[in-house]
């Protein structure tokens, strides 16, 4: 259907992508002027009284570009009987399809669409993503804003976030800075995390059983606090066993 642009209410905070730069709007306007609108925008009846009859769900940059060109009408798909959360899911799914969302934008879109404590399996299924992809995005919301910006800038990745999530909140930024500095020197995140005594997660039952046998074999008797720290992933295996990594791997102790 075609609808008047002044009949569409645009709430920039609704869009998980946030606001656009004027340059990006002008660039799209040139394409619209040359090719016309290929993909209609998505709208729903506006739930707010005394406002334009429709509310924009998806197509925020296209709508802004059409207004920049002075269009009066735009092609739109009307989606009726939608809840706010369902509409936000549509917005997130369309933006994910364009593949240029920042990780923090994806995280905010997930929270807006599925709630503060979403079911990871449900989110993964509905968005067509892996559980790990969802968990990596949700992990961002726990982080210092400086770390979030570093992730958005591509300086820190999902593996770095997994390591940082095991550190105390007050220590994360300093550790993140060290990770970025070492990575710039060509040192892997895993090596830095080992140096900082960071791990992705506590050690598994198989590792713990192998460790018990190894300790008995060569008679090492660590204190109970050392054992708990190693099991929690807070102490690297080289230090706990006082053995090099290649020897540990022979015994089935993985780092």
**Which of 70, 51, 65 is CA-nearest to residue 7?**
51
Contact between residue 9 and residue 52 where contact means Cβ atoms under 8 Å apart: yes
Q: Is residue 251 very low, low, confident or very high in pLDDT (cuts 50, 70, 90)?
A: low
Query: How far is 5 from 3, CA to CA, in rounded Å?
Result: 6
Q: Is residue 234 very low, low, confident or very high in pLDDT (cuts 50, 70, 90)?
A: low
Instruction: Specify the pLDDT at position 64.
Output: 93
Contact between residue 52 and residue 7 where contact means Cβ atoms under 8 Å apart: yes
Domain ranges of the chain: 2-82, 147-201, 205-250
Residue whose token pair is 């900082």: 196
Q: Is the pLDDT of residue 179 over 80?
A: yes
Query: How far is 205 from 6, CA to CA, in rounded Å?
Result: 62
Helices (H) and strands (E) in the chain — how many of each?
A: 14, 5
Query: How far is 61 from 135, CA to CA, in rounded Å?
Result: 29
pLDDT tens for residues 125-174?
Answer: 888 888 888 988 898 888 999 999 998 888 988 888 888 887 778 788 88
pLDDT tens for residues 28-87?
Answer: 999 898 889 988 999 999 888 777 999 999 999 899 999 999 999 999 999 988 888 889
Q: pTM for this one?
A: 0.60
Q: Is the pLDDT of residue 99 over 80?
A: no
CATH architecture of 2-82: Alpha-Beta Complex (3.90)
**Which of 90, 99, 102, 112 is CA-nearest to residue 42?**
90
Beta bridge partners of 40: none
**Which of 116, 90, 108 is CA-nearest to residue 151?**
108
């Amino acid at each position: 259907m075609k609808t008047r642009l002044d009949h569409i209410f645009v709430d920039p905070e609704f869009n998980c992508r946030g606001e656009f730069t004027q340059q990006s709007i002008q660039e799209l306007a040139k394409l619209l002027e040359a090719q016309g609108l290929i993909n209609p925008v998505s709208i729903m009846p506006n739930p707010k009284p005394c406002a334009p009859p429709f509310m924009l769900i998806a197509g925020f940059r296209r709508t802004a570009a059409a207004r920049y060109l002075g269009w009066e009408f735009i092609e739109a798909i009307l989606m009726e009987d939608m809840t706010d959360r369902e509409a936000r899911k549509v917005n997130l799914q369309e933006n994910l399809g364009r593949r240029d969302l920042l990780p923090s934008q994806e995280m905010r879109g997930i929270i807006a669409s599925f709630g503060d404590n979403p079911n990871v399996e449900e989110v993964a299924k509905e968005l067509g993503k892996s559980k790990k992809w969802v968990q990596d995005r949700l992990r961002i919301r726990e982080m210092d804003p400086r770390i979030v910006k570093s992730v958005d800038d591509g300086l820190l990745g999902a593996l770095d976030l997994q390591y940082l999530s095991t550190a105390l909140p007050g220590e994360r930024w300093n550790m993140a800075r060290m990770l970025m500095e070492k990575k710039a020197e060509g040192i892997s995140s895993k090596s830095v995390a080992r140096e900082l005594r960071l791990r992705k997660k506590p050690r598994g039952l198989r590792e713990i059983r192998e460790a018990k046998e190894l300790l008995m074999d060569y008679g090492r008797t660590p204190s109970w606090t050392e054992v708990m720290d190693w099991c929690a992933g807070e102490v690297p295996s080289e230090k706990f066993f006082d053995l090099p990594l290649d020897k540990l791997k022979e015994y089935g102790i993985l780092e």
